[in-house]
Structure formats: C-alpha cells, structure tokens
C-alpha cells in the first residue's frame, strides 16, 4: 500500500487490484489442489501491484510502465514481469513495437503470470466484451481468449462453442437426424474448430453430416448450458442458424435415420437435451 500512496494510485485502481488479488488467490488455491505448483505469495503480491502503471497512464502500455516502476522500487523481477505481461492476453513483440514499447514479447509464460492475467479479465463481467469492441477479433483478442481457456481447463472448467443448423426443404419441413448412440434426435451440427468462424463451421458440419449445402442462411438463436461431465465443469454454447437445405441427404456413421418433418412432429420425438431449447424457440417464433 505504500507504493499506492507514493505513486498516488486512484481509489478505483486500488479497489480493482484488491479484487484481482482475491480472484487470483482463489484460482491459485484451486490449481494447487489440482496438483499444480503455485507460488501463492507471488500471486498475491503480483496481483496487488499489477496495475501500478495506471498511476502514469491508462493506455495499453501501463503494464510495461508498471514493470519499470516495480524494478525501480526493488519489488523483484518476477513481480515486474507480472505487471508487464497482464495486459490483454499478453502483447507480442510486433504489437509492442507499434505501441512505442521495447520490441519484445510481453506474453504470460509462468503459471503465476497466467493466473493474474486471467483474474484481471474475470474481475469485470463486461471486460472481455469491451476489449472485443476495442480491438475486434484480432490476434491479441484471440490470444486472450486462448489464455482464458487454458486456465479454465487447469481449473477443470471447459467451454465449448457449437453450431447447429435448422434446415428446411421447399415445403418448409425441417431436417432431423437420429444418433446411433445415444438414440436421440438432433439437428445437423457440431463443434467450432480453433480459428473457425461459426458461419464457416456450420456450413462444414452440415456438408459433412448431410451432404447438403445451406442457402439463405441466417442466425436463428443462441442457447447454452452449464453441466458436469465427470470431474469437469462444462459450459456448452450453441449458435443456431437456419436456412434452406439443397441437395440429397447423405448421412454418415453418427446417425441412423434422417427425415424431413414438420415442427409439430419434431416435438413428439425423443430429443437431445441440447436440441430441446431450439425446438421451444421455433415453437415461440411460429
């Protein structure tokens, strides 16, 4: 706290730093219980001082400036690097050069650095959305998302992004497919691959599973569910598109039956839990 007074750090930054420290220590203790070696003292100190550079600027270079302050004050190289590397999901050598900082990587490497970078993003529920609006989905944004997913996985938390397609034929009927195991009905779809857009993913999944092309595609709805799978806490997010299916249906090994049916009949089928909310949405929309 002496450094906060010396550098006249604002009350809002101090409050934020304390919140990040609380989150970071909770995460660090979880990872320690999961068998990972974590320096709790370093996490606590690094989290508290990670934003001291905001005493000089609120720009993206505040992490680099914070590192300089902490070295000058004798707080140690590990603490200084935490400050330098917590911004976004880390700043690359090329990005740093464009910002007028030394052209070197400021990307979290140690577990403690990753924990504090992660905790900083979780400290405000709207922070990730604000960063996306500021940067768009560029390399820096994707690096941040990847870091969050990495720490989530270490905590036993996994988030999945999936796509589904509600395909209609010329008569307005909807394509449903029955899985071989478990024997439930669903719409064509699957997981979004790394670096793939949802639109590209749904076109790929539909073609792989049905042999059809999607025409006049548009976003229908989104849905999500949090659940446990073994020791993992999973959060599955589903982006659902609709469009006209063109071509002849050719299903593969995952499904045993495919048919075009009206909405009334779909509601009588045994549906997968992840499909039921989509059918309810179609019912309301109709």
> For the segment 26-67, what is each residue's pLDDT rounded down to a tens digit?
999 999 988 889 999 999 999 999 999 999 999 999 999 999
Alpha-helical segments (H) within 136-212:
139-154, 198-210
- Please tell me the distance from the alpha carbon of residue 175 to that of residue 258, in angstroms, as a whole number: 7
Whole-angstrom Cα distance, residue 185 to residue 65? 56
Query: Would you call the peptide bond into 59 cis, given omega within 30 degrees of 0 as the criterion?
Result: no
Domain spanning 157-280, CATH class: alpha beta
Tens-place pLDDT, residues 209-242: 999 999 999 999 999 988 877 666 788 999 999 9
Q: Topology of 1-155 in CATH? A: Hypothetical protein af1432 (1.10.3210)
Match 């400050």 to its residue by tokens: 83
CB-hemisphere CA count at 13 Å for 80?
A: 13
Confidence bin at 285 (pLDDT 50/70/90): low
Query: Could you say which DSSP state residue 91 is in?
Result: B
More confident residue, 217 or 2: 217
3-state secondary structure of 237: strand
* Mean pLDDT for the stretch of residues 204-212: 94
pTM as predicted: 0.61
High-pLDDT (> 90) share of the chain, %: 69
> Domain limits of the chain?
1-155, 157-280
| Across 64-91, average pLDDT | 96
SS3 166: strand
pLDDT at residue 167 greater than cutoff 90 = yes
């Amino acid at each position: 706290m002496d450094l906060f007074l010396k550098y006249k750090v604002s009350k809002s930054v101090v409050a934020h730093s304390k919140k990040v420290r609380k989150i970071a220590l909770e995460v660090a203790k979880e990872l320690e219980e999961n068998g990972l070696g974590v320096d709790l003292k370093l996490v606590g100190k690094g989290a508290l001082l990670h934003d001291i550079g905001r005493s000089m600027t609120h720009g993206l270079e505040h992490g680099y400036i914070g590192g300089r302050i902490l070295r000058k004050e004798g707080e140690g190289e590990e603490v200084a690097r935490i400050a330098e590397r917590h911004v976004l999901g880390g700043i690359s050598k090329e990005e740093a050069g464009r910002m007028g900082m030394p052209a070197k990587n400021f990307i979290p490497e140690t577990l403690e650095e990753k924990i504090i970078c992660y905790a900083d993003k979780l400290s405000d529920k709207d922070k990730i959305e604000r960063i996306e609006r500021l940067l768009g989905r560029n390399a820096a944004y994707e690096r941040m998302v990847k870091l969050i997913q990495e720490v989530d996985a270490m905590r036993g938390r996994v988030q999945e992004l999936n796509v589904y397609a509600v395909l209609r034929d010329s008569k307005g009927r909807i394509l449903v497919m029955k899985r071989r195991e478990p024997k439930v009905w669903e719409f064509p779809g699957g997981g979004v691959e790394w670096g793939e857009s949802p639109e590209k993913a749904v076109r790929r999944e539909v073609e792989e599973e049905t042999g059809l092309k999607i025409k006049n595609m548009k976003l229908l709805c989104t849905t999500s569910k949090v659940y446990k799978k073994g020791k993992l806490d999973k959060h599955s997010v589903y982006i659902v598109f609709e469009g006209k299916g063109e071509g002849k249906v050719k299903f593969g090994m995952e499904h045993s039956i495919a048919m075009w049916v009206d909405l009334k009949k779909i509601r009588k089928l045994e549906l997968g839990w992840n499909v039921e909310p989509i059918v309810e949405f179609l019912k309301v929309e109709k």
